[in-house]
Amino acid sequence: MNRNIWLGTVLTVLLCGCSSFNRDWKRAAGSPPSQNNPEGRWEGKWVSEGNGHHGGLRCLMSREDDSHYKARFRATWGGIFRFNYTAQFQMQPHDIGWEFDGEANLGKLGGVYYYEGRATTTNMVSTYRSKYDRGTFELKRPQTP
């Protein structure tokens, strides 16, 4: 009985997080991408160099102040698994875009992940590393519907 309650609670939390991300993703589709900062929708893929895992990746980037951004990610792997998490990025102007670094604590799902990358108004590329994994992600602005 307790196991069923625990499983139901976990599923509810996961489903609420997914629906919140999906709702915000659809809402953000109505706004054109900024040419002055990396705010908005991003879509692409991630690849682990450590174990070869890979999957789709979506990101909603929002500005917190002049140099800090919140990156909400929705990653998929194995074709059926999905996971939402948030990273904090510090962005600095660089050439034709920005360079950034940041981190996200994924707790029992891998500890702290560190990010370093660059973004233009149309592309974002980053490496990531943690105690258990390392890899890259590549994102682009999605086509507007």
Q: What is the pLDDT of residues 112-132, one digit of tens each?
A: 999 999 999 999 999 999 999
With respect to residue 40, please indicate whether it lies within any of the assigned structural domains: yes
Residue 83 domain boundaries: 2-140
Q: CB under 8 Å to 125, separation ≥6 — which residues?
A: 117, 118, 119, 136, 137, 138, 139
Worst-scoring range by mean pLDDT, 6-10, 49-53, 133-137, 140-144? 6-10
Long-range contacts of 124-129 (CB under 8 A, 24+ apart): 124/38, 124/42, 124/44, 124/59, 126/100, 128/46
Token pair listed for 12:
């509810």
The enclosing domain of 132 has a CATH number of: 2.40.128.120
Count of domains in the chain? 1
Spatial contact of 134 and 48, defined as CB atoms under 8 Å apart: yes
Q: Measure the CA–CA gap between 35 and 50, rounded to whole angstroms.
A: 35
With respect to residue 51, please indicate whether it lies within any of the assigned structural domains: yes
In terms of pTM, does the model score above 0.85? Answer: no
With respect to residue 55, please indicate whether it lies within any of the assigned structural domains: yes
